[in-house]
């Protein structure tokens, strides 16, 4: 029930619900306490959800993407390889309104913060690219003149300078060659001529931060406001 809620109306709970869902098979007492805390949070905001305020003058399909490098280290068993996996978080917005969002552990173990951010960036592009193509096809088939390649502009917001540099670099380096086969595929799509642009965003304005880790109350409420409108 919580999974259904977080997938459709409450992206602010995605990280917490996903973290608890990993322990459905063998739950412990702390996991039950965590679920109760999530329910108390939801009960305290029964009338809240996503506030949709589209910017009709700016048709953009954008993406905020972030990663948490080995965030489980020190919180779970250090003998379990899962505890050193990083977490991917991203949200895709249309005219500023959230369309889809993801919070999940990465399948590979990243060796650095740069790798974790770059894997998250590549994973987000796997959803963003077909979604943009679908939007263009809908505009063409339904004769929607306002949906044009020149207007449907996609910006990917990333807060890690290393991942930004790697995505824009004309060639791979020996230190990043081992992730090239699986994650470098999207680099040929980056550029104004292709409709995808990567830009730097300050960490405090990173909407995807709420999908990767537990935040302080102040930071959580700030990101929730810019993401959900309240």
pLDDT in tens, 29-71: 999 999 999 999 999 998 888 999 888 777 889 999 999 999 9
- pLDDT value at position 21? 93
Q: Do 222 and 141 fall into the same domain?
A: yes
**Which pLDDT score is estimated for 147?**
76
Number of domains observed in the structure of the chain: 2
Decide which of 29, 49, 69 is a domain's last residue. Answer: 49
E strands present in the chain:
61-68, 87-94, 97-105, 154-158, 196-200
The answer to whether residues 164 and 127 belong to one domain is yes
Asked if residues 211 and 66 have their Cβ atoms less than 8 Å apart, the reply is yes
Any idea which of 1-5, 14-18, 140-144, 157-161 has the lowest mean pLDDT?
140-144
Verify that 60 and 107 share a domain, yes or no: yes
Q: Do residues 22 and 64 share a domain?
A: no
Cβ 64 vs Cβ 57: under 8 Å: no
Query: In terms of domains, do 79 and 188 share one?
Result: yes
Q: Residues 40, 100: one domain? A: no
For residues 160 and 167, the answer to whether their CB atoms sit within 8 Å is no
| Residue 154 bridge partners (DSSP) | 196
Same domain (yes/no): 91, 4 = no
132 and 187 in a common domain: yes
Q: What is the mean pLDDT of the chain?
A: 90
Rg (CA), the chain: 18
For residues 143-167, give the mean pLDDT. Answer: 84
How many Å separate Cα 125 from the centre of its chain? 10
pLDDT for res 57: 73
Kindly report, residue by residue over 4-27, the tens digit of the pLDDT.
Answer: 999 999 999 999 999 999 999 889
Residues 9 and 99 both lie in one domain? no
pLDDT above 70 covers a percentage of the chain that reads 93
Specify the pLDDT at position 226: 95
Given 49, 64, 83, the domain boundary residue is 49
Same domain, 96 and 167: yes
Q: Residues 6 or more apart from 31 whose CB is under 8 A from it? A: 20, 23
Would the pTM count as exceeding 0.75?
A: yes
Domain boundary among 9, 31, 49: 49
Q: Considering only 74-83, 127-136, 195-204, 209-218, which range has the smallest mean pLDDT?
A: 74-83
Structural tokens at position 161? 């300078």
pLDDT band at residue 81 under the 50/70/90 scheme: confident
| CATH number of the domain residue 66 falls in | 3.30.420.10
Query: What pLDDT, on a 0 to 100 scale, did the predictor assign at position 160?
Result: 94
> Residue 205 sits in which domain range?
51-228
Same domain for 144 and 193? yes
Kindly state the tokens that stand for 72.
């489980």
Mark whether 96 and 171 lie in a shared domain: yes
- With b meaning 16 or more CB within 10 Å and e meaning fewer, what string describes 41-57? ebeeeeeebbeeeeeee
How sure is the predictor about 123, in pLDDT bands with cuts at 50, 70 and 90?
very high
């Amino acid at each position: 029930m919580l999974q259904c809620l977080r997938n459709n109306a409450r992206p602010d709970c995605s990280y917490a619900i996903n973290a608890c869902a990993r322990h459905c098979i063998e739950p412990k007492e702390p996991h039950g306490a965590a679920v109760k805390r999530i329910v108390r949070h939801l009960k305290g905001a029964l009338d809240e959800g996503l506030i949709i305020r589209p910017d009709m003058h700016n048709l953009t399909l954008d993406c905020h993407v972030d990663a948490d490098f080995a965030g489980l280290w020190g919180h779970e068993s250090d003998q379990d390889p899962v505890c050193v996996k990083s977490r991917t978080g991203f949200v895709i917005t249309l005219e500023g309104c959230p369309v889809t969002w993801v919070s999940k552990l990465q399948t590979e173990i990243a060796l650095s913060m740069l790798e974790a951010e770059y894997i998250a960036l590549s994973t987000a592009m796997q959803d963003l690219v077909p979604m943009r193509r679908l939007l263009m096809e809908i505009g063409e088939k339904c004769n929607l003149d306002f949906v044009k390649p020149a207007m449907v502009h996609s910006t990917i917001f990333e807060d890690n300078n290393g991942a930004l540099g790697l995505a824009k670099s004309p060639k791979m380096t020996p230190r990043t060659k081992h992730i090239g086969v699986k994650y470098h595929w999207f680099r040929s799509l980056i550029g104004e001529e292709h409709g995808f642009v990567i830009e730097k965003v300050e960490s405090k304005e990173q909407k995807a931060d709420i999908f990767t880790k537990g935040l302080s109350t102040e930071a959580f409420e700030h990101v929730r406001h810019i993401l959900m409108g309240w």
